[in-house]
């Protein structure tokens, strides 16, 4: 990221503007109290007003009534305004009370502020273990060699057999308290990050929905082209990396077997002795319960794509039908107005009605085809007097040689006739060479044929006789 990218974020990013705001401590404290602290989403306006009133009451009691003079409702409206975009204000179908949720930019700012506080215990071993686990799964699941896959599975089975034998011998390796605390902290951090990611995924889906609706509203083509474009967009959403990842997470979470296994593991995690004294240990058992509302809302946003498109298309069809009916009514009104006032002159030409009569006896009678006698006798020709040497006396006129001869003559003069060229380079192939010169003259823009003047051309045959040809004058000009 260069200077211009950082400066653009500073000017336009909602999270950065939250950190720069004058009442940033109030807003961040309230957002943590209402949303990220209890892992809540989609809160009603009255609930948020009551929570913010409690926060304001404590601050005014400490800093005076003039420290934050505005009401809680005014703060909410200001933070949800488009120029702030720290809260997303929306309405749910069938409810009059607006709902609020954090925007991804504001949540990113909250997570950064929380990271500044520092931690008493930093998880390092669990992160390394997670990196190794993800890396091994990436490499092993991407291997296409069957022998390598089988060898890796064999190594895993040998490790499992060795571990089982150690347990049978009474050597049970139990995770220590620091290791358990390390993994627990990594677990809670990943759970919080996952909840934060759902807000960003939902926002991306809403952007796609807005783009499709804008396309429908401004579409000028046919209905079929619009539907094809919309279905292509839906396919792009479903087949995108984000869409496939979200669908895979949804399928995983909706699997009864996997949900049961996850609940059992979370319940057993709360019974570990090394973690029993932690304050938020019992919240771990409800991690999947926190995920379900977030995933369900994101899935609902995806379902609303088709509903919005169906409603917009219905409105567009209604308007088109209304326009067609208006045109029909205008045509009918115009016809009624001109009914009593016929147009002067000929209004329209129509062919007179007539019946085409075809009498059966007008058809000619059948005539059988005549047989044609063909004399198919084969007569053998006597070719003893034919001279076959003429078949082997063919020759080719090289056009490139003729062009080079023309260029050589024009190198010393601006223009030259064909008689001048043949004087410098006599004809050696007779009439065929003259025809080739004619072809070059007709294809070139630097040559003209003058039918009002003639030239005499001469060439000598192999037996010494001289031939003469009278042709139209051909003049070649040097190209500019």
Neighbours of 433 (CB within 10 A): 21
CA-to-CA distance for 319 and 285, rounded, in angstroms? 54
Handedness of CA 367, 368, 369, 374 (dihedral sign): negative
CA-to-CA distance for 133 and 145, rounded, in angstroms? 20
Could you read off the pLDDT of 311-340 as tens digits, one per residue? Answer: 766 777 777 788 889 899 888 888 888 777
Instruction: Give the C-alpha distances (Å, rounded to integers) separating 134 from 140, 142, 153, 245, 265.
Output: 10, 12, 16, 16, 20
Q: What is the DSSP letter of 117?
A: T
Full DSSP string of 26-90: HHHHHHIIIIITTT--SEEHHHHHHHHHHHHHHHHHHH-TTSS-S-HHHHHHHHTSTTT-SEEEE
| Class of domain 3-116 (CATH, top level) | mainly alpha
CA-to-CA distance for 23 and 29, rounded, in angstroms? 10
The answer to whether the predicted template modeling score (pTM) of the entire model surpasses 0.85 is: no
Q: What is the DSSP letter of 170?
A: T
Could you read off the pLDDT of 101-149 as tens digits, one per residue? Answer: 888 888 888 888 887 876 555 555 556 666 667 677 777 777 788 888 8
CA-to-CA distance for 441 and 349, rounded, in angstroms? 57
Parse the chain into domains and list their residue ranges.
Answer: 3-116, 176-325, 397-477
CA-to-CA distance for 27 and 18, rounded, in angstroms? 8
- Helices 72-79 and 24-31: crossing angle in degrees, nearest 10, is 90
Which runs of E-coded beta strand occur in 197-241? Answer: none
| pLDDT in 10s for each residue of the chain, 480 residues | 788 888 888 888 888 999 999 889 999 999 989 988 877 778 899 999 999 999 999 888 888 888 888 999 999 999 999 888 899 898 887 888 999 988 888 888 888 888 787 655 555 555 666 666 767 777 777 778 888 888 888 888 988 888 888 888 888 777 777 777 776 767 777 766 666 666 776 777 777 767 777 776 776 766 667 666 666 665 555 555 556 666 666 666 667 777 777 777 777 777 777 766 676 666 666 666 666 666 666 667 666 666 666 676 677 777 778 888 989 988 888 888 877 777 777 777 888 888 888 888 888 888 888 887 777 777 776 666 666 666 666 778 888 999 999 999 998 888 999 999 999 999 988 888 999 999 999 998 889 998 889 999 988 888 888 889 999 999 999 887
State the DSSP H helix or E strand holding residue 12, giving kind and residue range, or none if neither: helix 3-12
């Amino acid at each position: 990221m260069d200077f211009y990218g950082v400066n653009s974020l500073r000017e336009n990013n909602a999270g950065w503007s939250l950190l720069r705001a004058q009442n940033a401590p109030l807003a961040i404290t309230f957002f943590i109290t209402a949303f990220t602290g209890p892992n809540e989403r989609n809160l009603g306006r009255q609930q948020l007003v009551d929570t913010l009133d409690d926060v304001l009451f404590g601050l005014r009691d400490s800093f005076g009534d003039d420290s934050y003079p505005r009401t809680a409702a005014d703060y909410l409206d200001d933070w949800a305004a488009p120029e702030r975009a720290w809260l997303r204000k929306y309405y749910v179908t069938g409810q009059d009370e607006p709902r609020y949720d954090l925007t991804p930019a504001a949540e990113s700012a909250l997570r950064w502020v929380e990271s500044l506080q520092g931690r008493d215990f930093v998880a390092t071993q669990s992160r390394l273990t997670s990196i190794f686990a993800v890396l091994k799964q990436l490499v092993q699941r991407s291997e296409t060699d069957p022998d390598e896959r089988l060898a890796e599975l064999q190594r895993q089975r040998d490790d499992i057999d060795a571990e089982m034998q150690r347990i049978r011998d009474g050597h049970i390796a139990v995770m220590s308290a620091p290791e358990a605390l390390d993994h627990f902290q990594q677990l809670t951090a990943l759970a919080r990050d996952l909840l934060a990611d759902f807000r960003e995924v939902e926002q991306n889906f809403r952007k796609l929905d807005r783009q499709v609706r804008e396309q429908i509203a401004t579409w000028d083509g046919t209905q079929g082209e619009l539907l094809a474009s919309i279905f292509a967009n839906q396919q792009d959403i479903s087949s995108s990396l984000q869409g496939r990842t979200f669908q895979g997470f949804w399928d995983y979470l909706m699997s009864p077997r996997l949900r049961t296994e996850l609940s059992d593991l979370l319940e057993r995690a709360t019974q570990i002795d090394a973690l029993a004294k932690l304050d938020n240990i019992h919240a771990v058992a409800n991690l999947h319960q926190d995920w379900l509302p977030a995933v369900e809302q994101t899935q609902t946003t995806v379902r609303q794509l088709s509903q919005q498109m169906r409603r917009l298309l219905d409105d567009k069809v209604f308007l088109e039908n209304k326009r067609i009916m208006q045109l029909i009514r205008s045509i009918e009104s115009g016809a009624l107005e001109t009914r009593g006032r016929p147009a002067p002159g000929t209004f329209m030409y129509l062919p007179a009605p007539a019946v085409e009569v075809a009498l059966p006896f007008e058809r000619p009678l059948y005539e059988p085809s005549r047989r044609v006698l063909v004399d198919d006798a084969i007569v053998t020709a006597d070719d003893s007097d034919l001279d076959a040497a003429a078949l082997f006396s063919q020759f080719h006129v090289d056009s490139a040689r003729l062009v080079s001869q023309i260029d050589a003559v024009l190198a010393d003069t601006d223009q030259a006739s064909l008689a001048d060229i043949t004087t410098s380079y006599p004809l050696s192939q007779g009439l065929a060479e003259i025809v080739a010169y004619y072809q070059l003259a007709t294809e070139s823009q630097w040559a003209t044929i003058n039918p009002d003047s003639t030239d005499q051309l001469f060439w000598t045959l192999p037996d010494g006789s001289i031939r003469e040809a009278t042709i139209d004058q051909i003049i070649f000009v040097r190209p500019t």
